[in-house]
Structure 1
Amino acid sequence: MHLTRFRLNTLRQGARRLLSSPQAMHAAVMGSFAAILPSDTDAPRVLWRVDRNARAEVFLYVVGPDRPDLTHLVEQAGWPTSSEPGWDTHDYAPFLSRLAKGDTWAFRLTANPVHSIRRADGEPTKRTAHVTPRHQMGWLLQRQDTSGFRVVEKPAHARRLPEGDEYELIVHDRRSAAFGKTERQTGRRNRVPLTTATFDGRLEVTDPDALRTVLTTGLGRAKAYGCGLMTLAPVA
């Protein structure tokens, strides 16, 4: 596995087009891997995430099975005449192998927090997005035990609120959008809603193998559209 970071030049039209369309970004990311064909339904999972740290500081992160070639992204949405490398790629395996139970890390995750509800008895369940920070946070906390980590709890004296401030966790960059998608079998064009939220926090590793699976295969749904990629960083 490899982890790649690419900075987008937000002044370029190509970058703005990619950032406005998760479908276009997905196609650009998948086009970075020569060995993965669009028709290959058994291809390894490729994860990606866009971090909007500031207006002119936007990064694309990609986790995939091989080293990607992002030349086309540099030409469309980077600095093609710069002498600096267009992207950084690192072998992910050494980092993943060092994860150990009890380690504490800062983390970031952009996800599609949804749940299934039934509005009336006898009706089929319907997938519905969580739209409030409280429920989005609850979505992540419900998945931590099976995902190999535990979000760090704040000591009582550090909590600013009596409820809702128990964890080293914030939710930000909450977005809702919709885009058209054509069904392969019927050719019908559907409108697909997409709700995303970015989580920043601290976690403690409880099951290294389970966490390695999350880091390489993603968490939650809508992975093709920039959701599910969790990254770790040393605690400051």
Structure 2
Amino acid sequence: MYLSRLILDLRQPAVRRMVSDIYQLHRSVLAAFPAAPAGQSARAYFGILYRSETIAQRPMLVRLLVQAQHEPDWSTLAAHHLGPDLDERGNPAVRRIDEEYARITNGTALFFRLRANPTRKLPERLPGREDRLAGKRVALLREEEQLAWLGRKGEQHGFRLVATQLEPDIPAVQAARQANERGRRPAREGGQTMALTFGTTIFSGQLEVSDAERFRACLSQGIGSGKAFGFGLLSIASMGL
């Protein structure tokens, strides 16, 4: 498993166009990987997950994190699209993370960060009612709904959210709703251009691993929907416990 960290320079018009359209960023990320076998999604085949975010105190720079089973070739990005090397690790910086994930055991405590698209499915259309949203997925907008969604994902994927010290029933997690991510998928033969819109929430806080095998699978496969467009990458860091 490989983790890439790229610093992109928003002063470049091509970079601004790329990060402002989730479909264009999707294409730029996938361009660093070989073609997948016929009939298979390259994102799923190579296990590609990624997240872009503006760097605090450096508003003209964007950090792009990309995790994948296959080592990427970032020469597909023009050199002038890259910003400065902020920490002397190189830009792009690419490293193996298999051993770090292998060391995770039940009870491991971790800080985490996740950009997700928390949604719920509406009931199917009822007889005698016309509802264009019936049976579709809609974004969860209230913080309590978003935290409950993440708690359910934790039960599914082998982790629990750590509670605050003062309020045992309240998780030590922040759910920060962001502006919707948008883009346009080009028209396929005989079709029309498709507008893409994803509700966006940044989760950050503390978790504890309850099932290491399922949790490692979650790290590899991501959480929630929208993985092809920069959602679902669970980033972790040791709490030193």
TM-score by length of 2: 0.84
Is 41-50 or 184-193 further displaced after alignment?
Answer: 184-193
Q: CA deviation at 1:14?
A: 2.2
Query: Residue deviations 1:111-152, cap 9 Å, x none?
Result: 111110127524751111112322222211121111111010
Q: CA deviation at 1:233?
A: 0.7
Partner residue in 2 for 1:162: none
Partner residue in 1 for 2:226: 222
Query: For residues 63 and 84 of structure 1, what CA distance do their matches in structure 2 show?
Result: 17
Secondary structure of the structure 2 residue equivalent to 1:94: helix
Partner residue in 1 for 2:21: 21
Query: Is residue 4 of structure 1 aligned with residue 14 of structure 2?
Result: no
Query: Is residue 114 of structure 1 aligned with residue 119 of structure 2?
Result: yes
Q: Name the Cα RMSD after superposition.
A: 2.7
Note the residue ranges of structure 2 that are not aligned, 5 or more in a row: none
Partner residue in 1 for 2:164: 154
Q: CA deviation at 1:10?
A: 2.1
Partner residue in 1 for 2:97: 92
Q: CA deviation at 1:188?
A: 3.2
Query: For residues 74 and 173 of structure 1, what CA distance do their matches in structure 2 show?
Result: 32
Query: Residue deviations 1:30-86, cap 9 Å, x none?
Result: 1111x2349551523211101223214421000111211112335252149999732
| Aligned-partner residue type, residue 148 of structure 1 | G
Is 201-210 or 171-180 further displaced after alignment?
Answer: 171-180
Is 37-46 or 129-138 further displaced after alignment?
Answer: 37-46
Query: Is residue 181 of structure 1 aligned with residue 185 of structure 2?
Result: yes
TM-score by length of 1: 0.86
Percent of aligned pairs with the same residue?
A: 26
Query: For residues 53 and 129 of structure 1, what CA distance do their matches in structure 2 show?
Result: 26
Partner residue in 1 for 2:152: 142
Query: For residues 93 and 30 of structure 1, what CA distance do their matches in structure 2 show?
Result: 21
| Aligned-partner residue type, residue 70 of structure 2 | D
CA contact (8 A) 2:115 2:233 kept: yes
Note the residue ranges of structure 1 that are not aligned, 5 or more in a row: 160-164
CA contact (8 A) 1:14 1:76 kept: no
Query: How has the CA–CA distance of structure 1 residues 180 and 93 changed in structure 2, closer, same or farther, with 3 Å as cutoff?
Result: same
Query: For residues 200 and 218 of structure 2, what CA distance do their matches in structure 1 show?
Result: 18
Query: For residues 106 and 203 of structure 1, what CA distance do their matches in structure 2 show?
Result: 6
CA contact (8 A) 2:85 2:91 kept: no
| Aligned-partner residue type, residue 230 of structure 1 | L
Query: How has the CA–CA distance of structure 1 residues 177 and 5 changed in structure 2, closer, same or farther, with 3 Å as cutoff?
Result: closer
Query: For residues 39 and 8 of structure 2, what CA distance do their matches in structure 1 show?
Result: 28
Partner residue in 2 for 1:129: 139
Secondary structure of the structure 1 residue equivalent to 2:146: helix
How many pairs were matched up?
A: 229
Query: How has the CA–CA distance of structure 1 residues 179 and 28 changed in structure 2, closer, same or farther, with 3 Å as cutoff?
Result: closer
Q: CA deviation at 1:190?
A: 2.9
Counting only pairs closer than 5 Å after superposition, residues 204-219 of structure 1 correspond to structure 2 as: 204-219=208-223
